[in-house]
A and B are shown apart, each in its own frame.
Chain A
Amino acid sequence: MAYFIQLAFAGLAQGCIYALVALGFTIIYKSSGVINFAQGELLLVGAFIASVAAFEWHLNFFLAVLIAILVTVLIGVLFERLALRRMIGRPVFAVIMITIGLDILLRTGVVATGLSNERPPATPYSIASGINFGGVHFGANEIWTIIVTLLCCAALYVFFRYTRYGLAMRATALDQEAALAMGINIRTTYALAWGIAAAVATIAGVFLAINVTTFDSTLGGIALVAFPAIILGGLDSIPGAVVGGIIIGLVQLLTQGYESHITNIVGTGFDTITPYLLMILLLLVRPYGLFGTRKVERV
Chain B
Amino acid sequence: MSATQQQEDEIAESVPVARARGLLASAKNHMVLIFVALFLALVWLFAGDNWLLILNVTMVTAIATLGLNVLSGYAGQISLGITFFMGIGAYTAAVLGGNPPVFPGDPVGLNLSFLIWLPAAGIVAALAGALVGPTALRLKGFYLAIVTLALVFIGLYLFKNARSITGGPQGRAFPVPGFGDFTFASPTTVLGLDLSSNQWYFLLLIVILGLVALFVHNVMRSRAGRAFQAVRDNETGAAIMGVNLFQAKMSAFILSSFLAGIAGALWAVYPGSYAEPNTWNLVLAIQFVAAMLVGGVASVWGSILGAAFVFGLPLALDTFSLIPQSTSNTGLTSGDLSAIIYGLLIIVFMLFEPGGIVALIRRIQTRIQRSEQRRKGGVAGDTISTANSAASSE
Contact = CB atoms under 8 A, between A and B. Distances in A.
Interface of A: 29, 35, 83, 86-87, 90-94, 96-98, 100-105, 107-109, 111-115, 224, 227-228, 231, 235, 267-270, 272-273, 276-277, 279-280, 283-284, 287, 297, 299
B342 to A, nearest CB: 6
Interface string B337-362: 00110111111001100100000000
B346 A100 contact: yes
Given A96-B78, A98-B351, A270 B343 contact: no
Contacts of B289: 93, 96-97, 100
The interface centre, meaning the residue of A102, A269, A272, A280 with most chain B CB atoms within 10 A of its CB, is: A280
Interface residues of B, number: 47
18 contacts: A94-B293, A96-B145, A100-B286, A101-B346, A104-B339, A109-B340, A111-B336, A112-B331, A112-B332, A112-B336, A227-B149, A228-B150, A272-B156, A272-B157, A273-B154, A273-B157, A276-B150, A276-B154
Given A92-B141, A96-B78, A273-B153, A114 B146 contact: no
A299 B157 CA distance: 37
A211 B4 CA distance: 56
Interface string B12-37: 00000000000000000000000000
A2 B290 CA distance: 48
A280 B245 CA distance: 22
A228 B76 CA distance: 22
Nearest to A270: B157
Contact of A97 (B153, B329, B350): B350
Contacts of B147: 279-280, 283
A83 B91 CA distance: 40
Contacts of B247: none
The interface centre, meaning the residue of B336, B340, B350 with most chain A CB atoms within 10 A of its CB, is: B350
A286 to B, nearest CB: 11
Contacts, number: 128
A299 B143 contact: no
Interface of B: 72, 76, 78, 135, 138-139, 141-143, 145-147, 149-150, 153-154, 156-157, 160-161, 235-236, 239-240, 245, 282, 286, 289-290, 293, 297, 329-332, 336, 339-340, 342-347, 350-351, 354
Contacts of A87: 350-351
B78 A97 contact: no
B78 A92 contact: yes
Contacts of B76: 91
A22 B212 CA distance: 41
A212 to B, nearest CB: 19
Contacts of B245: 299
A104 B346 contact: yes
B153 A272 contact: yes
A280 B135 contact: yes
Contacts of B154: 273, 276-277
Nearest to B329: A114
A112 B142 contact: no
A265 B235 CA distance: 42
A284 B147 CA distance: 11
Contacts of B345: 101
A268 B159 CA distance: 11
A56 to B, nearest CB: 12
Contact of A101 (B142, B153, B343): B343
